């Protein structure tokens, strides 16, 4: 059978872009469809604009720190409109850059939404086209609990486009999105209240990371209300009034309400049923949620249809931008190149760009003990960095290595503190290669630096 394309990609986010360009480099005829800005969640409303907001949120603390070093700094004031507009311009610049990369790679961009008609046919831009292979890379989207009043809240999609800086923002959600934006908005000068239904933020991360970030957030003036659910939301003259589940908890009033309670695979309207593509329940759960679905795939990102594939957040495996890119390239290498391979989801480093920042790679202490019990040995330290010797602030850095005492092999590394992501990125190479604690001990530290503590832990 003759097809219009060798590969048709639905979704021009990180995974789809990586896969389409790599497949085209092997000589495949490729088209990619996207009904939004090219670049996906990361470029448009995720990693990139968020990290720019993180950078912006750090300046007030830097101005304050400067005084400890003898600098006289005048009154500083944030021009919110300039801040938000500058971020949006950079996002759009990067989106155009990705379009130019597609053009150079010879990939046809179709700026419309696509859906499956049958196992080899896609409907897009009012026409039907066929492809030998189809890749679904449409990512995920924020989800709100199905509770009364949730329409008053914004999600992480809208927070980048607020016309005015919130005086008081209340955030529900204990994951990395809610935690990061709580720290961003507090750093920018807003009053921040974060409401969580559990006892701790950042479920699934190492306990010392969770504790270290919480302590830093509290010290920076963020109010954490734990073990509570939002029961009702109403508009009042002062703003939005949130009534919480615990009887002894007073209502919270704020002018902006951010719902950061999770993201789900963006499968709606794809026509999966037309092509016989199987789905599995997604991981989002909690009061007010319905069962959501992700596309089921095997280790080669292959769906229940052998010529239809899916990568990235739509599969709800490990929802990180570099992972989507890695899955996309592995798919292209396997199906269009000469290097059939599986992308490994083991030992993938990640960071939380909170204040304080944190990063991690490998097993948490709890995970390691579940596997190896008493054979796990922990090396850790907590200290005030030299930088704050003159600022007078009691900021802390936490570093931790999880080691298998039977083999001396590093199972995990965790850090809370400034530049955690930059430091753990280097440590992750060692963990991925199977380094031992003796390898770390034999490495000469760079002095004076915070990172040297990782090779001096005893």
Residue 416 to residue 400: CA distance in whole angstroms:
9
The verdict on 318 and 439 lying in the same domain is no
Question: Is residue 447 annotated as part of the catalytic site, yes or no?
Answer: yes
- What's the angle, vertex CA 442, arms to CA 358 and CA 408, rounded to 5? 70
Could you list the beta-strand ranges (E) of 255-374: 256-259, 263-265, 279-281, 293-295, 308-310, 350-352, 358-362
- Which CATH number characterizes residue 425's domain? 3.30.390.30
Residue 348 to residue 326: CA distance in whole angstroms:
11
The predicted model scores a pTM of 0.96
**pLDDT for residue 1:** 78
Identify the domain boundary among 233, 261, 289.
261
Buried b (16+ CB within 10 A) or exposed e, 439-452: ebeeeeeeeeebbe
**pLDDT for residue 185:** 98
- Which CATH number characterizes residue 222's domain? 3.50.50.60
- Domain that includes residue 49, residue range: 5-140+264-336
Identify the domain boundary among 210, 238, 261.
261
The verdict on 183 and 241 lying in the same domain is yes
For residue 351, is it within any domain?
no
**pLDDT for residue 290:** 64
- What's the angle, vertex CA 269, arms to CA 266 and CA 274, rounded to 5? 115
Residues of the chain with pLDDT below 50 are: none
The verdict on 90 and 114 lying in the same domain is yes
**pLDDT for residue 148:** 83
**pLDDT for residue 289:** 65
The verdict on 121 and 35 lying in the same domain is yes
Q: What is the pLDDT of residues 214-244, one digit of tens each?
A: 999 999 999 999 999 999 999 999 999 999 9
The verdict on 43 and 125 lying in the same domain is yes
Non-local CB neighbours of 450 within 8 Å, separated by 6+ positions? 385, 386, 397, 399, 417, 418, 419, 423
Token pair recorded at residue 215? 């302590």
The verdict on 307 and 422 lying in the same domain is no
For residue 341, is it within any domain?
no
The pair phi, psi for residue 211, each rounded to 5°, is -65, -45
User: What's the 3-state SS for 348-404?
Assistant: CCEEECCCCCEEEEECCHHHHHHHHHHHEEEEEEEECCHHHHCCCCCCCEEEEEEEE
Q: Choose the catalytic residue: 120, 168, 307, 447.
A: 447
C-alpha distances in angstroms, 337 versus 28, 132, 330, 331, 373? 10, 15, 10, 9, 43
When divided into structural domains, the chain yields a total of: 3
């Amino acid at each position: 059978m003759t097809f219009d394309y060798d590969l048709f990609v639905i979704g021009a986010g990180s995974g789809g872009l990586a896969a389409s360009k790599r497949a085209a480099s092997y000589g495949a005829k490729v088209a990619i469809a996207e009904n939004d800005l090219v670049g996906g969640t990361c470029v448009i409303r995720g990693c990139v604009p968020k990290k720019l907001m993180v950078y912006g949120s750090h300046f007030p603390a830097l101005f304050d720190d400067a005084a400890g070093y003898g600098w006289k700094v005048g009154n500083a004031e944030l021009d919110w409109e300039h801040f938000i507009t500058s971020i949006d311009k950079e996002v759009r610049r990067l989106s155009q850059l990705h379009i130019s990369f597609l053009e150079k790679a010879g990939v046809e961009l179709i700026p419309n939404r696509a859906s499956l008609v049958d196992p080899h046919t896609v409907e897009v831009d009012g026409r039907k086209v066929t492809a030998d292979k189809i890749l679904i890379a449409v990512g995920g989207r924020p989800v709100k609990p199905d509770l009364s009043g949730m329409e008053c809240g914004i999600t992480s999609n809208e927070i980048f486009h607020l016309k005015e800086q919130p005086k008081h923002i209340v955030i529900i959600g204990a994951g990395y999105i809610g935690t990061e934006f709580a720290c961003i908005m507090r750093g920018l000068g807003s009053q921040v209240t974060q409401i969580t239904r559990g006892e701790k933020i950042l479920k699934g991360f190492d306990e010392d990371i969770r504790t270290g970030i919480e302590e830093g957030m509290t010290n920076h003036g963020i109010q954490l209300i734990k073990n509570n659910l939002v029961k009702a939301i109403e508009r009042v003259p002062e703003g939005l009034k949130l009534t919480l589940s615990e009887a002894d908890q007073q209502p919270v009033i704020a002018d902006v309400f951010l719902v950061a309670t999770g993201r789900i695979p963006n499968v709606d309207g794809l026509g999966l049923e037309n092509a016989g593509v199987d789905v599995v329940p997604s991981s989002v759960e909690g009061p007010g949620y319905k069962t959501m679905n992700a596309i089921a795939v095997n280790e080669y990102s292959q769906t229940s249809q052998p010529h239809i594939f899916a990568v990235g957040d739509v599969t709800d495996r490990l929802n990180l931008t570099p992972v989507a890119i890695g899955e996309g390239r592995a798919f292209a290498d396997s199906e269009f190149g000469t290097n059939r391979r599986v992308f490994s989801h083991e030992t993938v480093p990640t960071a939380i760009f909170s204040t304080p920042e944190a990063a991690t790679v490998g097993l948490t202490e709890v995970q390691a003990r579940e596997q190896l019990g008493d054979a796990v040995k922990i090396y850790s330290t907590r200290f005030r960095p030299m930088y704050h010797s003159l600022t007078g602030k009691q900021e802390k850095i936490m570093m931790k290595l999880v080691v298998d005492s039977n083999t001396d092999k590093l199972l995990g590394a965790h850090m809370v503190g400034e530049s955690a992501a930059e430091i753990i990125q280097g440590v992750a190479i060692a963990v991925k290669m199977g380094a031992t604690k003796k390898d770390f001990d034999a490495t000469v530290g760079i002095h004076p630096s915070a990172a040297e503590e990782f090779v001096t832990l005893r």
